[in-house]
Amino acid sequence: METRNSHGLEQFCASIQEPEGLSILDLAGANQSTVTFITSLGHRIYSDDVLRTLESVYGTDDSSVYDPPHMAKFLEQSLEFPENHFDGALVWDTLQFLPPQILQPAVDRLHRILKPSSCMLALFHAEENLAAVPACSYRIQNSRTIQLTPRGGTRKAAQHFNNRNLEKLFQDFASVKFFLTRDHLREVIVRR
């Protein structure tokens, strides 16, 4: 178990301080710590484990064909919400594990369901060995601290992202802000 100070989280939390009753999307699965933190601010939280949904739609076999019907099914099961529905999104590192064919449609869907000016916190691994990124869950301890809890095993990241890739990925959003960190986890705040 590891904790880290997060300037990205600090900025995200500042964006959802008030008013009460905001809707926050968490794509990395429900955990007690994050649920308690968000609901203690008076907000609602929608939790889903997007990578688990991905596995349930495609299986764990890498040779799966990312055909349009499967892609539509995945997006429908994981990101089907009305337009401008959420006031913030905790994406964590999930985008890095989405196959390239699905990544941009998923980001487009996030753009659609987030309200204008709302924030999204995303993390991207910059390790050399992206084929075996330790799987972990991210839990908010307080407005500045994230706890990384190992889930056991590793995951294969779909691709490496540099700043230019990320700017291109989020080109429809109003702004992309990178935070310098000492470790291999890059924090990004994307404003809709």
Return residues touching another protein (CB under 8 A).
23, 29-32, 35, 39, 44-49, 52, 149
Q: Residue 68 or residue 82: which is nearer to another protein going by CB?
A: 82
| Contact status, residue 130 vs residue 99, Cβ threshold 8 Å | no
d(CA 103, CA 109): 10
DSSP 88-154: EEEEETGGGGS-HHHHHHHHHHHHHHEEEEEEEEEEEE--S-GGGEEEEEEEEEETTEEEEEEEEEE
The two structure tokens encoding residue 137: 């869950």
Q: In the chain, what are the helix, strand and coil shares in percent, each to the nearest 5?
A: 35, 35, 30
- For the CB of residue 149, give the shortest distance to another protein in the complex, in Å: 8
Q: Residue 48 or residue 127: which is nearer to another protein going by CB?
A: 48
Ramachandran category for residue 81: left, alpha or beta (phi over 0 → left; psi -120 to 50 → alpha): beta
Residue 95 amino acid letter: L
